[in-house]
Amino acid sequence: MKSASLATEYHSDRQADDDHELASTCKALGHPVRIRILQFLKRVDRCICGEIVETLPLAQSTVSQHLKILKEVGLVIGEIEGPRTCYCLDKEKLTRLKKLIAGL
Amino acid sequence: MKSASLATEYHSDRQADDDHELASTCKALGHPVRIRILQFLKRVDRCICGEIVETLPLAQSTVSQHLKILKEVGLVIGEIEGPRTCYCLDKEKLTRLKKLIAGL
DNA sequence: ATCGGTTATCGTCGATAGGCGATAAAGCAT
DNA sequence: ATGCTTTATCGCCTATCGACGATAACCGAT
């Protein structure tokens, strides 16, 4: 059961979904360390977690948390390769973000 | 006194400033209500606070807080007009955001 | 089977975010 | 001066964030 609220008066459900997607993606980008991680991944294309940890003045567990957040919104993909995890950007998701931002 | 840390190894100060600007701007965008406010301001160009409150299912104080956050990062400008405040987008800041996002 | 290397998760802590009602502040009108 | 309208701020509460160390989980090699 879904009631129309004042808040959706001017917005289709489709639009509301976009709003939430954009907000949650931006929230994930709302920390300088996570921006750095994205830029690093763009430069190196793909790398294992340990390399990312080396570039940052943070504990391994903290970096792993940031990577988890980026994974949850789909900006980053992590593939398990034996004992390690290989990370890379999801370029499609990044493109979609750019499109949503450009529409503001 | 500024020491070079491992974290800045691949980043100029200029780049670090951009990272922080982008992160804090994205952080401000990281809530669906604030996305809605920006879109509403785009549609109506400019309006007083009360009109924004009417479009949202939130208390006036809550909306005022969201507007404060958008003002702090410069996405929104608030001009006091007598007893009320007139809000509008800062299109230059929005353009800069789009540029920074496009560079990711 | 155990060890070494790598990454994810847990638990904890202080700080911040997000919501609200109540109240202050400011300008206009009476 | 008193009110009325509008907006900002305060205080409170709960929930989430961000950092860390410790530990678990996983795999490959010995």
Q: Is A38 part of any domain?
A: yes
Query: Which of strand D's nucleotides are less than 7 A from any protein C-beta?
Result: 5-11, 17-23, 26-28
Task: Name the percent of chain B in helix, strand, coil, to the closest 5.
Answer: 60, 15, 25
Q: Is A22 part of any domain?
A: yes
pLDDT above 90 (res A4):
no
Q: How far is A89 from chain B (nearest CA, A)?
A: 11
**Bridge partners of B76?**
B89
Candidate from A7-11, A64-68, A84-88, B46-50 with smallest mean pLDDT:
A7-11
- pLDDT of amino acid B8: 46
Mean pLDDT, chain A, rounded, equals 91
pLDDT above 70 (res A5):
no
Q: What is the mean pLDDT of residues B58-87?
A: 96
Q: What is the mean pLDDT of residues B79-83?
A: 91
Percentage, residues of chain B above pLDDT 90: 81
**B95 vs A10: CA distance, rounded Å:** 24
A 10 A CB-CB count for B58 gives 16
Comparing B80 with A6, which gets the higher pLDDT?
Answer: B80
Q: Is B50 part of any domain?
A: yes
pLDDT above 60 (res B1):
no
**Tokens linked to A41:** 């991944």
Q: What is the mean pLDDT of residues B55-62?
A: 97
Chain centroid to CA B66? 9
Q: Is B5 part of any domain?
A: no
Q: Where are the beta strands (DSSP E) in chain B?
A: 46-48, 76-81, 84-89
User: Number of folded domains in chain B?
Assistant: 1
> pLDDT band for position B2 (50/70/90)?
very low
Give strand letter and number of the nucleotide nearest A69 (CA to C1').
D17
- pLDDT of amino acid B16: 83
**A25 vs A74: CA distance, rounded Å:** 8
Portion 29-88 of A in contact with B at CB < 8 A? 29-32, 34-36, 38-40, 42-43, 54-57
**Bridge partners of B31?**
none
Q: Tell me whether residues A101 and B98 touch, CB distance under 8 A.
A: yes
Q: Is A2 part of any domain?
A: no
For strand C, is any atom closer than 7 Å to the CB of B29?
no
Give strand letter and number of the nucleotide nearest B82 (CA to C1').
C27
> pLDDT band for position A55 (50/70/90)?
very high
- pLDDT of amino acid B6: 43
Q: Is A4 part of any domain?
A: no
Percentage, residues of chain A above pLDDT 70: 89
Please report, for the domain that includes residue A42, its CATH number.
1.10.10.10
Q: Tell me whether residues A27 and B26 touch, CB distance under 8 A.
A: yes
**A98 vs B7: CA distance, rounded Å:** 26
What are the C-alpha distances in Å from A1 to residues A4, A10, B2? 10, 20, 58
- pLDDT of amino acid A15: 86
Range of the domain at A26: 13-102
Q: Is B6 part of any domain?
A: no
Q: Is A3 part of any domain?
A: no
